[in-house]
Amino acid sequence: MSRIGKQPIKIPSGVDIQIEGTSLRVKGPKGELTHQIPDSLELIREDGMLYVKRKSDDRFARSQHGLQRTLIANMVQGVSQGFEKILEVVGVGYRAQMEGSTLVLQAGYSHPVRVKPNPGITIMVEQDQATRATLIKVQGIDKQRVGQQAADIRAVRPPDAYKGKGLRYRGEVIRLKPGKQQAGKGKK
C-alpha cells in the first residue's frame, strides 16, 4: 500500500469538489481546476475528507496511487491558498521591473529580456527591505505552472558558478568555485 496514497485529503471550508466518473473538478475562492483520474483509481468522499482508493492491485494502479493523491491535494491547496515561488535578482546592474503584466529583466545582456506570464500566473516585482535585493514573485493556483514559470524566468540568467550573479530561487545555496589564483595555490 502506498504510504502517500492512503493518506486522506482534508477538504477545507469554501472548497467544492465534484466527482463525475473519472473527471474531478475542484472549485475554491482562488479559482477552479479540473483533472482526469485513471480508471484504476476511485475517489471516495466521507465527512470532509477525500480518499483515493485502488480498484485493483496491478502495477499501473500502484504506480498512480500516490501520484494522483498528491496531484489532487495540490489542487485543493491551490484553489484555497495558492502557490508562490520567489526568485532573487543578484548582481550589479541586474534589474527587474514590470511593464503592464510583462516582466522586463536587465540581466547582463545587451538587450532587455521580456517574459510574458503564462495563463493563470501573476508575476510581481518587489524590493526586500532587509537585504535590499529585488524579488520576483510568481503566483498561481496550479503548482506545476507556477514552478515552470519560475524555472523559465531563472533560465534567463542562472546563477554564475564563480561570482554567484544571476537569478536564483529564494533560499537556494550556490556553491562557488574558486578562481584561477585560488585553485593553483599550494602547488609548486
Digit-coded pLDDT (tens) for 56-95: 889 999 999 999 999 999 999 999 999 999 999 988 888 9
Task: Answer whether 150's CB lies under 8 Å from 85's CB.
Answer: yes
Q: Give the three cell numbers for residue 182.
A: 585560488
Helix orientation angle between 59-80 and 143-154, rounded to the nearest 10 degrees: 80
How many Å apart are CA 54 and CA 63, to the nearest integer? Answer: 10
* Residue with the three cell numbers 475517489: 43
**Confidence (pTM):** 0.85
Report in angstroms the alpha-carbon separations of 131 from 74, 127, 142.
31, 9, 29
